[in-house]
Copies of this chain bind each other. A is one copy, B any other.
């Protein structure tokens, strides 16, 4: 029996922080794991930027509510859900993801959570566990599933390497260069064909 593990940002929805940067005009918030692969370093930087600009959780949530899924993402995800169980595994935070998950039809999301002060400012974050994406794949293999995984960037690589079959979706050029052994596509139709082939 097969199960799908997929990334969220860059696969089904745009990069959340890049959108927040655009809508707030704060250029430095455009940094992602594509730029800084150490997630903790990146997150602490982001939170200190928010603090400098006095931006609270409500402000960020208002921006995120305006983000739409990528073109074709809902149709592709619906096809997946008709055919396989899927778990979306993300390094984002449940407080940020919720309005986006609504637009995707509430698939199951495994992610992290924010630490929010009584005044609504974001003082930190809780990682559910270290290398959480890879551990989800391991757990599902332990439940006798064969796991297919796809994602777009560095933070997906250990998940992709652990899975029984893996695909990169719209990765940046440096990820393609560094991991030529993982098949890569820009196209939901191609991804669908690869999933069908791998589970035939």
Contact = CB atoms under 8 A, between A and B. Distances in A.
A16 interface: no
Interface in A110-129: 110, 112-113, 126, 128-129
A85 B105 contact: no
Nearest to A128: B144
B1 A94 contact: yes
A11 interface: no
Given A82-B98, A85-B109, A105-B106, A135 B128 contact: no
Interface residues of A, number: 30
Nearest to A94: B1
Contact of A128 (B82, B108, B145): B145
Interface in A71-89: 78, 81-82, 85-87
Contacts of A108: 85-87, 107-108
Interface of A: 1, 78, 81-82, 85-87, 94, 98, 102, 105-110, 112-113, 126, 128-129, 132, 135-136, 139-140, 142-145
